[in-house]
Amino acid sequence: MNCQQCLTIRRLFFLVFLFIMCLLAFNFSTFYLISLNSTTIDPSSIIHNNNNNNNNNNDELKYDLLINDNSFKNLDKINDLNVRVRELLRIRSSVLKELRSLERNRTLIIQELTEHNNELEKLKSTIGKKSNELERLQLHIKQAVVAQKEAKVLVGSMIEPPLNLLPKQAQAKNFIENEKATISHLNHNECQMHNCFDYSRCSLFSSFFVFIYNHDDDDHHHVRSSFDQIIYDKFRSNIHVTNDPRIACIYLLIISEHFPYWNDRISFQNYLDTLPYWAGDGRNHIIFNMNPKIDLNSIELNVKKAIIVQNQFSKSFSSLRHSFDLVIPNVQIIHSFNENLKVKNFSPKLSPAKRKYFLTFLGHLSHKNSDHNNNNTAYDDNLQLIIKNTMLNLLTKHSVVNHNEFLFDFDCDEKTKKLCDNQTIILLESTFTLIPIIIINNNSFHHDFYQRLFNALSTGSIPIIISNNIISLPFEDVIDWRKATIRLPIARITELYVLLKTYTDADIIELRRYGLHFYQTYFANLDKFIATFFAYFGTYRLQIPPSSPPSYRSIYYYNQPKYDIQFNSSDSLLTNSLIYDNDPSSDGDEFLGPIEPPFASISYHRNYSITMNNLYSIWNDISLTPFHTFPSLPFDPVLPSESKFIGSSYGFRPIGAGLGGSGKEFSEALGGNHIREQFTIVILTYERENVLLLILSHLKNLPYLNKVVIVWNSPQPPSIDIIWPDIGVDIVVIKSERNSLNNRFIPFDEIKTEAILSIDDDTNLRHDEIIFAFRVWREARDRIVGFPARFHSYETNEKSWYYNSSYTCEYSMILTGAAFFHKYYSYLYSYSMSSLIRDKVDEFMNCEDIAMNFLVSHVTRKPPIKVTSKWTFRCPACQTGLSENQSEHFLKRHKCINYFVSIYGYMPLLYTQFRADSVLFKTRVSHDKQKCFKYI
């Protein structure tokens, strides 16, 4: 029905209405006339009188008949009027019925018209949605075609973990005969790695294996001390040690002080030549000399092509074959020194930068010039005197009141115990400490030097090494000691004070921080020293990539890698209507990205380039380590922009195919500076199935989602009545060994992506918020990127740190209940971070998010990034939580922050006043453009 028909009906209705009104007016006038006639002659009374007066006289009867004749005439008129009235009433009734019928038809027609209009609008909406779906399907097809082409190119072009190719097999009986043919007559003093080492036994694509000779198996029954046994056990417990000599790259011979042939050079030489895998010239052998008093070269032992590792070389290191032999600290000093530290149980502080004493010296220097006939000794004594006089001049010229700026003691050594017992306490209060290297009888006092070096590093006192470059610091080839020490020639000692005054507080803190890092990473105990020893030869000398980090194998409930079976039950924890009737995304019709099949991030694609070209970085950057090769790093280099289109275009999805664009083109591709990728959601839960499943249902069809990993912290397994929602990706439920908040950051092998979104089981985020945070994280992969922000405050009067959740203009932490971070930090948290921090998290059942923020800020020296204005979360469906008791919750977090500061030695958290909101946010754009995100 159109508008013309509606107008015709209205006109007809109006005409009928006028006709009825006319009829009513006519009826009223007729009744009025009848009423007037009835007042003059009452017909009913006339009739009544005629019927009751039959006995009247004739005159009266004639008169009555005359009257009756007139009355009958009026009655005929009345009857006619009655007939007409009845006819009009009938017509009126008929018209009213017809009008009612027309009105009913009109109502039905209007309802039908409304239904048709609604159906038309639905069809238009469906056409729009189908058109959008068609466009998205076409986009999926285009991306699938590109991915297929990339897959063909990728197959066989990238190596993932290091391959395990074994070297040639070594047989104990015929190994010597087979190898003697290649023995050269090269002078062993000319040995270098390229001419005295057999690289064929150490493939780049093999694991690095070391075989250790066991003296208990030979015919020479060596006596071992308790310390010797500790060293042997520590070496054998290392992951690089193998009991199979046929696959070994290096053969290690450990010689202790109790070796029986120290005084018998010929027997010593015969012992070496008869080793099962000596091969005639000692190739690929390392002789680890634990005797601090004897240089193997000084006893004229011909070690041939074997590498010597010991703590000293005589004759001013002339016998040291540089880049072949290795100088190390005395392992007994490392063991005893760190055992003493365990008893003292102190933590050095990085702040304040300037401590009580600006410069200290605790050692032994000669009081007078030497009268010895030996010129070298006299020269050394003169140097000692020069050093001593220079420090005395400092006391007189530059000291502050009461000489509190300096503390020098020239008579402290192992014999005089005057201040040696308090040396650690003094160094904890010293900004710089002086360590001169003096040569006595052509031998430097290494024992005292390493003792003092480790003491300075472990206390945060910056070592100033005064020498003429006649001593090598431990593993100096790879450790950049300039980051932690100051080295000066003796001629510069007179300028020492002025030089030290030029160092700013930031310079001092960085020197102290790296000194503690080098000590705690490489020399804190025997296990770390031995790991450093093997990493030096494997990673640096042979450039073999380190082994992969420990893999945490996921344990699934019901032996299923994913829940693809739903259990139907009338008592199910969550009904299908609750799961699927809710709007999961709350994003309307906003297109946030293509729904792609899950794919893993590329792993181990830089394991060889890092070892070959970034050795100094992995040994000297606090954020890296030489002990493991990781699947990926958040610090990987970024290609220039043209690489997306020229040459290295694999995986890139530039916006608008390189032309850019607003919201529409933005939503169709990830863009940015990195190749396409996905993220894994990790949810830690404990006996809150209803809330968990509701949160899971909100993740349905979330773009770029690879997988959901649920860490089941409860000792009770999931109920068989749970109906796991179909959200488009796998939901993997992993059994935890125990209830611990540290489980949130375990690097499970089920996590195949670099990006991890950690959320609580009661955190409800919109799809657009998640995708926006993911895009921001891709631009800052080394940061924590998330939503709720907090900061640390300092109470000056109490000299204590506090956890604060107030609204402020700067923050320093992002709660990991809703945050993105790189999987690399899961490895650092689980395996490299101090176990004392994880223990405190278990003790308080709190603070794991603070610990992760401490870790990331410590290794990057960068603050986290907050996205959107969201400051906290509300969960109406949640009944209880760990932070329900707010006062106790905040008290624990206050304690955690101060405890973590004591572990790190400083406050690593950094403040920031930056918050990320989407591009074009609140920007007026033309009608043909779209914003990047509608609601952010």
DSSP tag of 656: G
Task: Check: CB of residue 837 under 8 Å from CB of residue 851.
Answer: yes
Task: Check: CB of residue 633 under 8 Å from CB of residue 617.
Answer: no
d(CA 744, CA 759): 9
Nearest to 655 by CA among 645, 643, 670: 670
> Counting runs of H as helices and runs of E as strands, what totals does the chain give?
25, 24
Residues 6+ apart with CB under 8 A from 464: 359, 432, 433, 434, 435, 485, 486, 487, 488, 496, 500
Q: Which strand (E) or helix (H) includes residue 286?
A: strand 285-289
Nearest to 772 by CA among 581, 584, 585, 579: 585
d(CA 656, CA 654): 6
Q: Assess whether 849 carries a catalytic annotation.
A: yes
Three-state SS at 519: helix
Residues 6+ apart with CB under 8 A from 372: 378, 381
C-alpha 789: how far from its chain's center?
Answer: 16
Task: Tell me the one-letter amino acid at 488.
Answer: L
d(CA 757, CA 821): 7
One-character DSSP codes across 693-727? HHHHHTTTT-TTEEEEEEEE-SSSPPPTT------
d(CA 573, CA 580): 14
Task: Check: CB of residue 458 under 8 Å from CB of residue 516.
Answer: yes
Angle value at C-alpha 842, between 838 and 843, nearest 5 degrees: 115
Three-state SS at 331: helix
d(CA 653, CA 673): 9
Q: What CA–CA distances, in Å, run from 806 to 44, 470, 544, 871? A: 101, 57, 50, 10
Which residue(s) pair with 43 in the sheet? none
Residues 491/493/499/504 CA torsion (nearest 10 deg): 130
460: left (phi over 0), alpha (psi -120 to 50) or beta: left
200: left (phi over 0), alpha (psi -120 to 50) or beta: alpha
Task: Check: CB of residue 777 under 8 Å from CB of residue 785.
Answer: yes
Tokens 């409304």 found at: 114
DSSP tag of 491: G
d(CA 811, CA 871): 11
- Of 80, 411, 849, 928, the catalytic one is 849
Q: Which strand (E) or helix (H) includes residue 681?
A: strand 679-685
Q: Where are the alpha helices (DSSP H) in 189-236?
A: 193-196, 226-236
Q: Which residues are catalytic?
A: 849
